[in-house]
Structure 1
Amino acid sequence: MRAKRRVIFAVAMLTIFAGCGNKRSQDDKVLFGEDKAPKETITIHRFDKALFESGNTPTEQYLLSIEKDFKPMFAANLSDKQYMQVVKAFVQDKQMQSVHKTVVSMYPDLKWLEDDLAKAMSKIRQIRPDSTKTNIYTLILGPAEYSFAYQNRILVYPEYSAISIDLYSMDSLSDNPYYKTMPEYLRASLKKENIAPDYVRTYLQEITFRDIPLSFQNPEATLLDCIIDDGKYSYAVAALLPEYGLNTIFRYTPAQQQWVEANEYNIWTYIIQNQLLYCKDRTKYLSLIAEGPSTKGINNSPARIGNYIGYKIVCEYMDKNPITLDSLFKIDKSEQILKASGYKPKKTTK
């Protein structure tokens, strides 16, 4: 077996604005086409507030009165007496009442989020005029196994979307027994500023996967396939939410973002020298794209560093090929994007 070569990763925290960084060479007209779609307006429906508004002992009459406005948020009809009791018990739970107070304190209103999403959705509508406009709800997810909760923190369906807003209140819920099992590395990416990028990414995945199935769903996908897929979404989110920093889009701390920027050459060298780029054995490259406190075997690294490389490749491709985001998503050959990008990161010095 070929021995893996070791790569020394620079520890220096240098902020390198190479390639597209937080900027794009194309203007909106190139990326999104002619601005013919009407400006989007978004209203977020606060199910998290409505459910607890009746106080600690909600009446059946009150719950039935809100069922019509929040129908998608109920798992069954409230006419089902057994389910009604489940809902009442949820609202009467003292820990959930505490969570509700925390959430309302952190998010008294969501106009800022409505405005940010409206801008992004207006641009999406330019490239996908047939994309479905869904009602957006916020809810309190409550007790759940942490990996399930994290993976389902935002759900987008053709009929509605749901944001588990309690999960974006983790800084204030660390002592709540229902949330104590959430690892610190996930808590760090569940902040107020992560809501809009997470929502836009999830929405894009919903409207594009019909054209191009996500690579991580294909057991034969190579590392290149997976990181190019992810890179497309990161590039699109950065374009749709230009006021958000890259570290927020990647769910990194500023220090972690500096690390991947300073070590881009070394990450790429590690991938190439260990023959991982075209590897189809996911067990060998999963650590480069999976959630975690760090990337296994690479000192001082954050998680998902392979996805950052995918983003940089897409950046280089888009710099050289002025096409719309819709056209980018329709390219189903990752090798085509890599070759046309001419991607070759420069070695940096400390």
Structure 2
Amino acid sequence: MIRFKFLFPGLLFLTFSFGCKPSNKECEVPTGYEENLTSINIQRMEGLFFEELSKEKMLENLEAYPQFSKAMFANMGFENQEQLAEELLLIHQDSGMVELYQEVQTYFGDISKIKEDLEVAFAGIKYHYPDYTIPSIYTFVSGFGSDLIITEEVIIIGLDYFLPNDHKFQPVDLPNYILRRYNSAHLVPMIITAISTQFNKTKLSDNSLLAEMIFYGKSYHFTKTMMPCTADEFIIGYETGEILGSYANEEMIWGHFIENELLFETNPFIIRKYTGEAPFTDEISPDAPGRIGRWIGWNIVDDYLANNGITLPELMEQDDARLIFKESGYKPRRP
């Protein structure tokens, strides 16, 4: 079993070579993105459903915003709008929900940073995919019922999920290793990674670990392309030390995959050990972060683009994971 070694002299080098990408002060939005910058409108729905409530007002809001209402409340299973309005009235008058709403209003009174980050990311998508239509975007307080609802037509952000990690209100159904990713710094990368699935082609017949690794690698590369000034940890959801430790031990991690002949493994249980949510990848080391197969997949995809001179749309259209791996020429970096 491999133990990760965090050697400070090595970390200094890794931070420069592989670690966190440039900060916003050092990073420039790629040429061509600017001409696709468009001011987006984020509709704040929480006030409409929490302030000065009555059944009549609730019904009016449901009817006035059918796209939002259908996406947000369709799964509640009520037969008609009147029953739904009555239930929402009860929920949103609950003292705990009212306090949660007030806390969200305090912390997210200004969402200009979210708006700016989304505008840059959408400009990137429009640059690579000119026919892309930006969805309608809403914010809401879901009572920790929905973090993000994302379709080709709509994005709904459950702002309560993205309160600071030390806030007294936290979702109770998420373990700490996942919960730490639920904050405003990770919000827009989560959205763009979810959107990437619209473009990420895969072979349905390939159920291998390699195919899953490449799928996630393409998703993270997509997000990094659209958000080049965002550090890697906010894209993949690792702590900075986890990224640095992974680079420091990349050769040993890769050796584990090769020695155990894992790349073409099709057992779902084994695949989940390397790409599924977990606090660490115990099969490699208790110090190895969870989802390490996704991180390796990201590196393979980066090398594939670097060595083949293809465009992002060509990458996302390529559904042959084995070809991507073969033509990547991937080799672990040596610290």
> Which bin holds the TM-score, normalised by the shorter protein?
0.7 to 0.9
After TM superposition, the structure 1 stretch with the greater mean CA deviation from structure 2, 112-121 or 163-172, is 163-172
Structure 1 residues 173, 51: closer, same or farther in 2, change over 3 A?
Answer: farther
Return the offset for 1:73. 3.1
Pairing partner for 1:291 from 277, 302, 307: 277
Could you tell me which residue of structure 1 aligns to residue 109 of structure 2?
108
Alpha-carbon distance between aligned partners in 2 of 1:45 and 1:330, rounded to the nearest angstrom? 33
Pairing partner for 2:50 from 49, 52, 57: 52
Could you tell me which residue of structure 2 aligns to residue 247 of structure 1?
233
Residues 260-291 of structure 1: per-residue CA shift (max 9 Å, x gap): 22221111111111110111112123111111
Structure 2 segments unaligned to the other structure (5+ residues) = 23-28
Contact 1:7 / 1:269 at 8 angstroms: preserved in 2?
A: no
Contact 2:18 / 2:247 at 8 angstroms: preserved in 1?
A: no
After TM superposition, the structure 1 stretch with the greater mean CA deviation from structure 2, 166-175 or 291-300, is 166-175
Structure 1 segments unaligned to the other structure (5+ residues) = 1-5
Alpha-carbon distance between aligned partners in 2 of 1:35 and 1:288, rounded to the nearest angstrom? 35
Alpha-carbon distance between aligned partners in 2 of 1:99 and 1:175, rounded to the nearest angstrom? 7
Alpha-carbon distance between aligned partners in 1 of 2:274 and 2:51, rounded to the nearest angstrom? 44
1:62 equivalenced with 2:63 (yes/no):
no
Return the offset for 1:328. 0.7
Contact 1:52 / 1:97 at 8 angstroms: preserved in 2?
A: yes
CA RMSD of aligned residues (A): 2.6
Structure 1 residues 20, 69: closer, same or farther in 2, change over 3 A?
Answer: farther
Determine helix, strand or coil for the equivalent of 2:106. helix
Alpha-carbon distance between aligned partners in 2 of 1:219 and 1:282, rounded to the nearest angstrom? 14
Q: How high is the TM-score relative to the length of structure 1?
A: 0.82
Pairing partner for 1:233 from 202, 214, 219: 219
Alpha-carbon distance between aligned partners in 1 of 2:110 and 2:64, rounded to the nearest angstrom? 18
Task: State the identity %.
Answer: 24
Could you tell me which residue of structure 2 aligns to residue 42 of structure 1?
40
Q: How high is the TM-score relative to the length of structure 2?
A: 0.86
Determine helix, strand or coil for the equivalent of 1:171. coil
Instruction: Output aligned runs, 1:1-350, within 5 Å.
Output: 6-12=1-7, 14=11, 16=14, 17-18=16-17, 22=21, 28=30, 38-54=36-52, 58-74=53-69, 75=73, 80-144=81-145, 149=146, 153-169=147-163, 171-174=165-168, 179-205=171-197, 207-209=198-200, 212-213=201-202, 218=204, 220-297=206-283, 298-348=285-335
Between the two proteins, the alignment pairs up a number of residues equal to 318
Return the offset for 1:257. 1.9
Determine helix, strand or coil for the equivalent of 1:138. strand
Contact 2:218 / 2:316 at 8 angstroms: preserved in 1?
A: yes
Structure 1 residues 293, 7: closer, same or farther in 2, change over 3 A?
Answer: closer
Determine helix, strand or coil for the equivalent of 1:299. coil
Return the offset for 1:339. 1.8
